[in-house]
A = this chain, B = another copy of it.
Amino acid sequence: MSLKEKVAEFMTREFPQTNVVVEEVGNRSAKVRQPIGEEHLRPGGTVSGPVLMAVADVAMYAAILGEIGLVALAVTTNFTINFLRKPSATCDILGECRLMKVGKRLVVGEVLLYSEGDLEPVAHAVGTYSIPPVR
> Which residues of chain A have a CB within 8 Å of any CB of chain B?
14-15, 17, 39-40, 42-44, 48-50, 53-54, 57, 73, 75-85, 100-101, 105-106, 108, 110, 121, 124, 126, 128, 130
Q: Is the pair A128, B79 in contact by a Cβ cutoff of 8 Å?
A: no
Listed by A's residue number, 10 A-B pairs whose Cβ atoms lie within 8 Å are: A15-B48, A43-B73, A49-B79, A50-B50, A78-B80, A78-B128, A80-B81, A80-B126, A82-B108, A124-B126
A108's nearest neighbour on chain B, judged by CB, is B82
Q: Is the pair A83, B77 in contact by a Cβ cutoff of 8 Å?
A: yes
The copy count of this chain in the complex is: 4
A104's nearest neighbour on chain B, judged by CB, is B133
Decide: A101 near B84, CB < 8 A? Known: A15-B42, A53-B53, A73-B43. Answer: yes
Q: Is the pair B100, A79 in contact by a Cβ cutoff of 8 Å?
A: no
**Contacting residues, chain B, for A44 (C-beta < 8 A):** 73
A54's nearest neighbour on chain B, judged by CB, is B50
How many Å lie between the Cα of A102 and that of B1 in the bound state?
A: 42
With A75-B83, A84-B108, A124-B126 known, 11 other A-B pairs at CB within 8 A are: A15-B42, A17-B48, A49-B79, A77-B78, A78-B82, A79-B80, A84-B101, A105-B105, A105-B130, A108-B124, A126-B126
**Contacting residues, chain B, for A100 (C-beta < 8 A):** 82, 84, 121, 124
